[in-house]
Amino acid sequence: MKAPRHFLRLQDFSRRELEALLHRAAELKRMQRAGESYTPLAQRTLAMVFEKSSTRTRVSFETGMAQLGGHALFLSPRDTQLGRGESIEDTARVLSRMVDLIMIRTFSHAGLEAFARASRVPVINGLSDDHHPCQLLADLLTAQELWGSVTGRTVAFIGDGANNMARSWMEAAQLLDFQLQIGAPEGFQPSAAVQAELGARTRVFSNAQAAVQNADLVVTDVWTSMGQEAESAERLARFAPFQVNAALMAQAKPGAVFMHCLPAHRGEEVSAEVIDGPHSLVWEEAENRLHAQKAVLEFLAGFGPVAKSGV
Ligand code: CP
Ligand code: NVA
């Protein structure tokens, strides 16, 4: 049996595939806005396994499947046998004999890869400790809407440079050829191994002001990711100089825009004046989760122009 195609990290797509998917996402968004019915995933089911909380990921995948004519199942450890010790691989084996696609949000990225190896159907990473590729699709779609492409631009990522969002931004910078400037306190910067693998287009700074110089786009993320709650007090103290506020935005390129994957903590990683201000794209960015993921679902299920073109 041929191994299915998975989407566990951004670099699971080639540059051509990624660009084609982003253009397809824009087309699906246009079709949705125009009220066109498009239901290629009729009779198909997506299982959504959530080992961590979610608002956007759950709602965008569930709604996306409904719009594509399919069905989505929400599964959490609290009410499945995962919570009583059934292994992640056994869960993948069973689910993938019944459903057509699986999305999973989990902790360990190695665990996610083991899950995917055991699955007969495509697996989509809805966030792991190391990667959040679906969020990057939405962010890149938002940049595409603004500039046509992020290629050639400069993006500053301010905050936890060792987290899943930072790593997915590093992959995006390599794939789409833009400059990424990470501003993060020492101890919270990409590891030497990550920089060696993914750092070709990334520069790392120990202060936020240096990192935002010349940036067209400033992004941040929570200081304490899911699973790191015990470190919250230490992180609040270490990251305090890394808040994205009006003074920091003033050091970026004039007219620079702001993104945040959300959920946001106003007064911590971002000030209210920035996230609620005129240069913030966060609500369009959140909506774009839906359109970008519909393009991925369509592609991995073997439908639509990107799958057919064989890029
Ligand atoms: N940005 C994001 O993934 O949001 P949720 O945690 O609400 O899914
Ligand atoms: N880095 C955050 C992203 C949330 C969408 C986390 O992992 O909690």
219: left (phi over 0), alpha (psi -120 to 50) or beta: beta
The radius of gyration computed from the CA coordinates of the chain, to the nearest angstrom, equals: 19
Measured distance between the N- and C-terminal CA atoms of the chain, rounded to whole angstroms: 22
For the segment 280-307, the average pLDDT, to the nearest whole number, is 98
Q: Residue 57: is its pLDDT beyond 80? A: yes
Indicate whether residue 21 lines ligand 1 (CB < 6 A): no
Do 10-132+288-306 and 134-286 show the same overall fold? yes
pLDDT score recorded for residue 269: 98
| Alpha carbon of 105 to ligand 1 centroid (Å) | 10
Q: What percent of the chain has pLDDT over 70?
A: 100
Indicate whether residue 226 lines ligand 2 (CB < 6 A): yes
Q: Residue 109: is its pLDDT beyond 90? A: yes
pLDDT score recorded for residue 274: 98
Task: Name the catalytic one among 24, 131, 221, 260.
Answer: 221
Catalytic, 71? Answer no
pLDDT score recorded for residue 63: 98
Contact indicator for 293, 64 with CB cutoff of 8 Å: yes
For the segment 89-118, the average pLDDT, to the nearest whole number, is 97
Write out pLDDT tens, residues 210-241. Answer: 999 999 999 999 999 999 999 999 999 999 99
pLDDT score recorded for residue 311: 72
- CA torsion 230→232→233→238, rounded to 10°? 130
Q: Tell which atom from ligand 1 comes closest to the C-alpha of 226.
A: 6
pLDDT score recorded for residue 224: 98
Q: Tell which atom from ligand 1 comes closest to the C-alpha of 58.
A: 8
Residue 185, classified by CB atoms within 10 Å of its CB into exposed (0-12), middle (13-18) or buried (19+), is buried
- Of all protein residues, whose CA lies closest to atom 6 belonging to ligand 2? 225
227: left (phi over 0), alpha (psi -120 to 50) or beta: left
Q: Which ligand is nearest to the CA of 56?
A: 1
Write out pLDDT tens, residues 126-176. Answer: 999 999 999 999 999 999 999 999 999 999 999 999 999 999 999 999 999
For the segment 229-254, the average pLDDT, to the nearest whole number, is 98
pLDDT score recorded for residue 278: 98
Tokens 């989760």 identify what position? 289
Indicate whether residue 219 lines ligand 2 (CB < 6 A): no
The CATH number that domain 134-286 falls under is 3.40.50.1370
Class of the 10-132+288-306 domain? alpha beta
pLDDT score recorded for residue 219: 98
Q: What percent of the chain has pLDDT over 90?
A: 96
For the segment 251-262, the average pLDDT, to the nearest whole number, is 98
**Average pLDDT score over the chain:** 97
pTM for the model? 0.98
Q: Which residues contact 249 (CB under 8 A, 6 or more apart)?
A: 212, 218, 256, 258, 274, 279
Domain regions of the chain by residue span: 10-132+288-306, 134-286
- Of all protein residues, whose CA lies closest to atom 8 belonging to ligand 2? 225
Indicate whether residue 125 lines ligand 2 (CB < 6 A): no
Indicate whether residue 163 lines ligand 2 (CB < 6 A): yes
| Alpha carbon of 57 to ligand 1 centroid (Å) | 5
If pLDDT is split at 50, 70 and 90, which confidence band does 310 have?
Answer: confident
Indicate whether residue 225 lines ligand 1 (CB < 6 A): no
pLDDT score recorded for residue 298: 98
Q: Residue 2: is its pLDDT beyond 90? A: no
pLDDT score recorded for residue 294: 98
Task: Name the catalytic one among 58, 201, 260, 289.
Answer: 289
